[in-house]
């Protein structure tokens, strides 16, 4: 078993801390910095800077090499944009957690403003908007508040498995649909539309987004406003006839309880739109990519899959599906879950060996005080931690448990049928595994 010190002293794990929380600092002409005040890094070229050295594949290997050459904080430039990479837990937690008030800003961008995204949770500069969104997140998406949506998560996990068994060749589509359904049913009370799928695709392919900023601006605004207006209209109609069936969504909760910032102000409803609209694209992308990776790991590690399934069967007796209320009994399942998160954070990394056992008997922190649980760093740091962290965790957990209880996952191959020699990620904003094929067979249809 790998000990706690190894987990967070390995340079690859350092890279996990970086890439899931890469810290961008934009130095504008109006705020010049002296060269000697910048951290060390690879030597830039005139005008281009380090653009030719920024990796588009094997990112983990390049960043790990830079850490060894230049230290825990690495500086690179792309044109006039300065980028600082945090390359150790000490720097990531020290700056983004302990000094979050200073290092929680976001750089300005004409593209972001054109698309109307400069007031979203993800891209808003640090200030009153972010502080307000954090308050909303704690209130409506904390562990207690999100608990009432467990039936939605369990229902969608079961529907996912049924679809998976019927058409296993469409694994990635099923995974994307599952995460879209869960998030949108909880946020707004309904399932996704083609427009929302288009948003997710645009986020995945950011260079395309830049070329189509004007059209996507309209699309983003539609996605932020349309579901909100639908919920608001439903509430107005239901309240008029004394029916309260439309209150079962987070959007409805915010509208009914007046948690919109300054009550009665012109920006109140706008803040709801921006807060909830900030959750879907990144939330759907990251959770889908992680669950897809789970299938790859189970297919290539049949011993781990069998051990995890055995624990599920010992809890359910094989006569029912697992539930989120079973989570206190999940020991090995939680270790698998943590290892999936560690192996596949949102950034494209290479943590070598898939080994859930590393999490079975280790202290909560390393000797130097850093957490060993990947859930405390893969969702971001400090004041920019994902507000939907509890929703993401529980959705992934019940999906993993339901799959293990009902399906056997076979070895994974490239789409052309050849053996996968080396695992690779897509060079996109959110790292996805390259497409693969695996057999998925039902263990028992009766409990579905």
The annotation places the binding site for heme at 386
User: What residues contact residue 259 under an 8 Å CB cut-off, 6+ apart?
Assistant: 136, 139, 140, 253
The total of other beta-carbon atoms located within 10 Å of residue 383's CB is: 16
Give the closest residue to 81 by CA, choosing from 107, 102, 104.
107
Give the closest residue to 293 by CA, choosing from 253, 246, 346.
346
Which tokens hold the place of 447?
A: 């409990």
C-alpha gyration radius of the chain: 22
The total of other beta-carbon atoms located within 10 Å of residue 280's CB is: 24
d(CA 379, CA 392): 9
d(CA 342, CA 222): 35
d(CA 141, CA 389): 8
Strands 81-86 and 73-78: antiparallel
d(CA 336, CA 359): 8
Binding-site positions: 386
d(CA 143, CA 386): 13
Give the closest residue to 385 by CA, choosing from 197, 73, 121, 129.
121
Query: Is 190 strand, coil or helix?
Result: coil
Q: How far is the CA of 404 from the CAs of 167, 285, 376, 380, in angstroms?
A: 17, 22, 25, 28
d(CA 317, CA 294): 23
CB 88 within 8 A of CB 54: no
CB 352 within 8 A of CB 297: no
Query: Is 425 strand, coil or helix?
Result: strand
Q: What is the dihedral of CA 12, 15, 17, 19, to 10 degrees?
A: -140
């Amino acid at each position: 078993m790998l000990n706690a010190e190894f987990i967070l002293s390995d340079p690859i794990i350092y890279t996990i801390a970086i890439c899931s929380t890469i810290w961008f600092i934009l130095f504008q002409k109006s705020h010049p910095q002296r060269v000697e005040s910048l951290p060390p890094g690879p030597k830039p070229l005139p005008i281009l800077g380090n653009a030719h050295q920024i990796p588009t594949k094997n990112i983990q290997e390049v960043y790990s090499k830079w850490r060894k050459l230049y230290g825990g904080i690495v500086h690179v430039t792309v044109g006039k944009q300065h980028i600082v990479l945090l390359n150790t837990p000490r720097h990531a937690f020290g700056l983004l957690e302990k000094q979050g008030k200073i290092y929680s800003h976001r750089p300005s961008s004409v593209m972001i403003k054109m698309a109307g995204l400069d007031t979203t949770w993800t891209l808003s500069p640090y200030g009153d908007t972010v502080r307000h969104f954090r308050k909303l997140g704690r209130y409506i998406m904390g562990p207690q508040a999100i608990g009432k949506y467990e039936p939605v998560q369990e229902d969608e996990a079961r529907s996912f498995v049924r679809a998976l068994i019927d058409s296993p060749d469409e694994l990635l589509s099923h995974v994307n649909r599952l995460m879209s359904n869960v998030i949108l049913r909880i946020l707004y009370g309904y399932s996704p539309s083609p427009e929302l799928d288009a948003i997710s695709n645009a986020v995945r392919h950011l260079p395309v987004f830049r070329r189509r900023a004007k059209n996507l601006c309209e699309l983003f605004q539609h996605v932020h406003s349309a579901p909100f207006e639908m919920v608001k209209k439903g509430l107005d109609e239901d309240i008029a006839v004394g029916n309260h069936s439309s209150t079962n969504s987070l959007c409805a909760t915010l509208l009914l309880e007046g948690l919109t910032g300054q009550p009665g102000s012109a920006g109140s409803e706008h803040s709801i739109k921006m807060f909830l609209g900030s959750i879907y694209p990144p939330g759907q992308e990251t959770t889908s990519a992680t669950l897809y990776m789970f299938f790859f790991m189970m297919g290539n590690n049949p011993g781990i899959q069998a051990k995890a399934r055995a624990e599920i069967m010992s809890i359910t007796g094989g006569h029912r599906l697992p539930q989120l209320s079973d989570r206190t009994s999940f020991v090995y399942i939680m270790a698998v879950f943590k290892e999936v998160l560690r192996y596949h954070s949102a950034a494209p990394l290479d943590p070598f060996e898939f080994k859930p056992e590393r999490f079975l008997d280790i202290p909560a922190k390393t000797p130097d005080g850093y957490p060993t649980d990947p859930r405390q760093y893969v969702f971001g740091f400090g004041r920019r931690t994902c507000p939907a962290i509890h929703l993401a965790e529980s959705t992934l957990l019940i999906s993993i448990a339901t799959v293990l209880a009902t399906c056997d996952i076979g070895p994974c191959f490239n789409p052309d049928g050849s053996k996968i020699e080396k695992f690779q990620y897509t060079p996109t904003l959110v790292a996805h595994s390259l497409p693969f094929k695996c057999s998925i067979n039902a263990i028992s249809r009766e409990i579905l």
